[in-house]
Structure 1
Amino acid sequence: MRRVLAPAAALAILCGAAAPTALADAPQRGDAPCSATDEQIYTPPAQLQGKPGDVLACAPSEFPKIPGNIPKRSWKVQYQSTDVRGTPVAVSGLVAVPDVPWNGPGPRPVVAFNPGTVGLGPQCAYSKQMSGAYDDAYELEQLAAALKAGYAVVATDGVGYLNGQQHTYMVGQNAGHALLDAARAAARVPEAGIAPEAPVALWGYSEGGQAALWATQLAASYAPDLKLAGTAAGGVPGDLRMVGNALNGGQFAGFAAAALVGFHAGYPEMPFDELLNDRGREAVGKLSGSCLIDTIFGFSGERVEDYTLDGLTPDQIYELPGPDGTTWGQIADSHRVGDGIGTPGSGAAYEIGVPVFQYRGAREQIIPVPTEEQTRDAYCRAGIQTQWKPDVDGDHLIAAKNAIPDVMAFFASRFAGEPPTGNC
């Protein structure tokens, strides 16, 4: 960044509506030009009949919040993805391509990026913040670093930021699908000039780190067409039960509360509304419209128990079953990062054939260190080529910025086809 991070700006690096209507014009597909309105970008189509990664709408956008004055061409996009139930869903995001020739070997690489927590409100969508449509947008350096290296960039907003929707915060499989389909969509933006065979690297921190590793785990089965080169994931909240229990009642309790709202959006059949007292219903309404800063400072020190009729703790909520007998805890555990992984040909549920770089801040204060180490250990036990850096200078807030040189070096080695190295 061009200045030292102020506290509020540093927070933006964290694991950070109208009723839906049909598009006024038919969704853009195939080779149609990028000429959608903002309303079309952020309004889901009445029906989705294409395939994952199809570009449904796109429009040129300058994205002035990307620092560095890097010459680029950029677009807002709406594209098709798949939710945790296998249902087609529309997702928004952004694509940016450096306006300089690519001089490396092969086609210009693509970095598919999932931002950290930005908040649940529709106005908080990353592509809106980066275009300056939201007054509290912050300058972030991740995209600038990738663009400066000559890579094309696609950043997903994640599932649930379109009009009339609710972000499915921390539903890992939704996030993984959305990130993989963003990479597909980048090559289908008709004016971007990104080759379908371009190598792809995945990147995310905190909420984005969970998304990046879930995308890595799903890639072989869900997106075998992508030429995945590697994944960088930092500050990963791998075990949601552990994270939720640690955050509840603490300074960053808003993230735990937001995750409950996000999972309710992803699993609306599970018990939720009937558990809430008046204060809980008020909190859900506030969280659903809040961005990062209000999520943190508006809920600091709050406890989930105070929002429920029976004073339920997170552990008690995990034990509650839904209509088919599946409990909230089983659903949370199904999104734990690192379970069921293995190398290609291992027969594991999630076969991973690319190296990963995992990292965390040396003074981590938000995500429990044991879950970050647990995720790394799971990857090592499974035989995944893993680089691990547990001592990035700074706490959770600052480590995202300070790790950028390490991430760029990892991506450069992956795109150059160098032999992977690990330190398991």
Structure 2
Amino acid sequence: MQIPTIDRNLVVLTIGALLLGSLTVLSGPGVSPAAAAPVYPAPDPDPFYAAPADISDKSPGEILDTRVMPPLPIFPGTTVTLVKFRSNNSRGLPIAATTTVLTPQWRGPDGPLLSYQHIINGLGTHCAVSRVLYTPDPTLQIREAPALNAALARGWSVALPDHLGPTFAYGAARLGGQITLDGIRAARAAGLGLQNSRVAMAGYSGGGMATAWAAALAPRYAPDLDIAGAATGGVPMNLVRMLEAVNTGPHPAFGLVMAAGIGLEREYPDRFPISESMNVRGLNARNTVANGCTNEILAAGAGRSIVEYASSMSMVTDPEARAVVEENSLELFDGIPNMPIIEWHSASDPLIPVDSIERTNRRYCAAGVPVQAQNTLSPEHLSAAVLGVPQVLMWLEGRFRGDPAPSNC
């Protein structure tokens, strides 16, 4: 198992200790209000990523800028276009977001468009997919590139949104769904021959979370989009359930635990003030990882635990803080996708509550959504992603052809 494959689904398991009171917090030094303010990432030095002054005048999904990027050796024969567009944060305020569109030279007129939500583990702007594509990051090259090349070989264009948003709100799942939908709008309007393309979505784990939220939000947030289907794998449908089962001992991935708390505070600064519950040691660790990607975050928190960094029980009984977690739990959201779904996971996944997945599938089925639910033979979370790829590609091909969607509801 490679370290970079750890994602936010594991992370959110342990931030619940600060919400649900499942541990005795050790007292620590107090902090000043200034020290306890949320910490945001350093702005990307490339002005392309900055929001224009008139962004409030734009509509969600409206293009703000485009840039033709250098070709990528890992995707031979493919042109690369970076598209900046207006989206919304979780409070409905305008933000500038980006998506990278890969276009194979052999695509046909109005060829399919797949929005693929990559797993993003990071708090810094250089952790964006659009940035990582141009680094020797083994996560993309080893794990993601084969599946993406399989899609490109079929003549599909692929959009890769930076779905954590400009503040890198790691852990804010609903935000990822909104950015995904606006990214599809932008990709179709970017002059890449995708205006009339059939569109589908896919993603696993953290990327599956953004995909599943996009599918559920689509009827309300983007009723203008006709999406042929969504492939969602390994999705934690109920973060509250995961938090209730938290283990608070030292963990090799505790850096990602804290990163999720930092990301939620960035997105909900008034409702999820986790920095106010940190002692000086915790704030120092927070500042160390504030611009980190996977390796930096893991290294900073390896073997640590919440009890080392907490100074206050203030969030334990805070209804607003708990509501933030509930609002990012798809099982608790009343929206119903208006597209077919294929959903796959390990039947014995130790990271996510499978019964929450099954209840969500049943709710969708009862509402008339064609759901093809698949249990893989994998005994754990990560290998299930790979085992599901062949069937998911065949399912997506059917949606792009316009075939009736299978269902095992």
User: What is the TM-score when the length of structure 1 is the normalising length?
Assistant: 0.79
Separation in 2 of the partners of 1:286 and 1:206?
26
| Equivalent residue letter for 2:193 | G
The answer as to 2:49 corresponding to 1:46 is: no
SS class of match (2:296): helix
Q: 1:353 to 1:130 in 2, by over 3 A?
A: same
| Equivalent residue letter for 2:160 | A
2:203 is matched with which residue? Answer: 204
Q: Deviations for 1:336-394, whole angstroms, at most 9, x for unmatched residues?
A: 113344xxxxxxxx242211111113563433434444433443344422111121546
2:315 is matched with which residue? Answer: 317
Q: Is the 8 A contact 1:114 1:204 kept in 2?
A: yes
Q: 1:378 to 1:252 in 2, by over 3 A?
A: farther
Give the counterpart of 2:84 among 56, 67, 78.
78
Q: 1:277 to 1:78 in 2, by over 3 A?
A: same
Q: 1:13 to 1:102 in 2, by over 3 A?
A: farther
Separation in 1 of the partners of 2:107 and 2:116?
22
Q: 1:117 to 1:319 in 2, by over 3 A?
A: farther
2:180 is matched with which residue? Answer: 179
SS class of match (1:108): coil
Deviation at 1:169, TM superposition (A): 1.8
2:274 is matched with which residue? Answer: 272
SS class of match (1:81): strand
Tell which deviates more after alignment, 138-147 or 111-120. 138-147
Q: Is the 8 A contact 1:73 1:96 kept in 2?
A: yes
Deviation at 1:135, TM superposition (A): 5.5
Q: Map 1:78-227 to 2 at 5 A.
A: 78-102=84-108, 107-132=110-135, 138-139=140-141, 140=144, 141-161=146-166, 166-190=167-191, 192-195=192-195, 197-227=196-226
Q: Is the 8 A contact 1:338 1:379 kept in 2?
A: no
Separation in 2 of the partners of 1:19 and 1:13?
21
Deviation at 1:202, TM superposition (A): 1.3
Q: Map 1:56-67 to 2 at 5 A.
A: 56-62=64-70, 64=72, 67=74
Q: Deviations for 1:298-344, whole angstroms, at most 9, x for unmatched residues?
A: 4344332332113x4xxx735214xxxxx211121122113344xxx
SS class of match (1:338): helix
Q: Is the 8 A contact 2:41 2:291 kept in 1?
A: no
SS class of match (1:357): strand
Q: Deviations for 1:161-188, whole angstroms, at most 9, x for unmatched residues?
A: 4xxxx21122222111100011111112
SS class of match (1:317): coil
Q: 1:136 to 1:194 in 2, by over 3 A?
A: same
Separation in 2 of the partners of 1:15 and 1:412?
31
Q: Is the 8 A contact 2:202 2:230 kept in 1?
A: yes
2:238 is matched with which residue? Answer: 239
User: What is the TM-score when the length of structure 2 is the normalising length?
Assistant: 0.82
Deviation at 1:108, TM superposition (A): 1.2
Tell which deviates more after alignment, 8-17 or 112-121. 8-17
**Runs of 5+ in structure 1 lacking a partner?**
1-5, 22-37, 322-326, 342-349
Separation in 1 of the partners of 2:402 and 2:299?
45
Give the counterpart of 1:386 among 365, 371, 381.
371
Deviation at 1:100, TM superposition (A): 0.7
Cα RMSD (Å) of the superposition? 2.8
SS class of match (2:396): helix
Larger helix share, 1 or 2: 2
Give the counterpart of 1:333 among 314, 323, 326.
326
Give the counterpart of 1:281 among 260, 278, 283.
283
SS class of match (2:346): strand
1:346 is matched with which residue? Answer: none
